[in-house]
Amino acid sequence: MLYTKRFSNDLSLTKISSIFCQARFGQRVTCPKCKSRLIDRADSECWRCRRCWSFFGLRTGTFLSKKRISLRLWYEVIYGFVTSQPAYRLQKILKVKDYRTIYGGYKTIRKALVQNSQKEFKKLGFTETIEVDESYYGGKFRNLRKKVRWKLRRLGLAKRGRGAKFRKQPVFGIYRRNGKVYLELIPDAKKPVLEEIIRKVIEKGGEVFSDEHFGYNGLVGLGYIHRTINHGKEEYTDGRVHINGMEGFWGLSKTNMFSYKGIRKKNWNEYLKEMEFRYNYRHLEYDYLALKIIDALCQKVGKSSLGS
């Protein structure tokens, strides 16, 4: 593959180290404990502070410390992730002995993207046009095992649409027109759940477009300008009123997630935030996407990410 040759030969280890160092500390290395700039280099990835005499490393407290692999391999794993290379294929390309090294690197990247999504999120202003919609992720009923289909029919859970929440994962999406998308896993698409997220994400006075799902009926009372489109009557656009941006994201993300051939329930949020990241930065070139991921990996691991 061209990208592995490009990364291995064109960039020296010193250049790769400087890229990670700049993402971790900025233009100049400072002590994370006392913020002093009086620093002595101990080795290629470790420094000592002259003021508080503490040692600190490039990976200390970041997502990079979760996997004991070299920075060069990290760089190539990141580029493989950006180009959507499956972990098993990237293992063969890079000639890594253990598949878990690559898969673990991918998993760490997804955890970093979850935290990065929370960090980059800014409340949407009332001057912006917002599309909201909910969707259900999961396989089709006919593709389930025969024993599982029989059990769901016996329990009365073999339903379609919003009734499929018992066997599928409901997801709520908010899309800023000509901007970014924000996703959250939800237990169901009932009115209190949707309104709580909308109040958290969108400022009052904002213009919100949706379909005619009953969960959005109280938005006007909450202080929003709410306009709807009736998909039941095969209406999909009425001038500016539509949710085609959000619908387009659902189709694109489900197509991409199909390649994973099944996702464990506990990992849903990580894969969902991966789809959010890829969509929000879809116009960037691979090199800039790789730098975005490096920035996310070099962040300090928050308390919410320690147990995951």
Alpha helices in the chain (DSSP H): 2-10, 13-25, 71-82, 87-94, 99-120, 146-154, 191-201, 244-257, 268-280, 286-297, 303-306
Q: Determine the pLDDT at residue 69.
A: 86
Q: Determine the pLDDT at residue 305.
A: 58
Is residue 163 over pLDDT 90?
Answer: no
CB 294 within 8 A of CB 19: yes
Q: Determine the pLDDT at residue 133.
A: 93
CB 243 within 8 A of CB 211: yes
CB 215 within 8 A of CB 194: yes
List Cα–Cα distances, 54 to 49, 51, 57, 62, in angstroms.
5, 8, 10, 17
Residue in this structure with the two tokens 């180290």, named with its chain if needed: 17
What percentage of the chain reaches a pLDDT higher than 70?
87
CA dist., res. 32 & res. 55, Å (int): 10
Q: Determine the pLDDT at residue 126.
A: 65
pTM over 0.75: yes
Q: Determine the pLDDT at residue 9.
A: 47
List Cα–Cα distances, 249 to 27, 113, 158, in angstroms.
36, 18, 26
The rounded mean pLDDT for the chain is 84
Helix H or strand E encompassing 171: strand 169-176
Q: Determine the pLDDT at residue 6.
A: 47
What are the structural domains, with CATH classification, of the chain?
2-120+291-306 (no CATH), 129-262 (3.30.420)
For the record, the structure tokens of 280 come out as 């929000």
Show Cβ contacts of residue 187 under 8 Å, excluding neighbours closer than 6 positions: 170, 193
CA dist., res. 260 & res. 282, Å (int): 20
Is residue 90 over pLDDT 60?
Answer: yes
List Cα–Cα distances, 291 to 21, 55, 57, 212, 285, in angstroms.
12, 26, 20, 41, 10
Q: Determine the pLDDT at residue 271.
A: 92
Tell me the pLDDT band of 303, cut-offs 50, 70 and 90.
Answer: low
CA dist., res. 199 & res. 204, Å (int): 8
Is residue 140 over pLDDT 90?
Answer: no
Q: Determine the pLDDT at residue 164.
A: 62
Rounded to an integer, the average pLDDT of 104-116 is: 94
Q: Determine the pLDDT at residue 74.
A: 92
Most confident of 53-57, 107-111, 236-240: 107-111
What confidence tens digit (pLDDT) does each residue in 244-298 have? Answer: 999 999 988 988 888 887 788 788 899 999 999 999 999 999 989 999 999 999 9
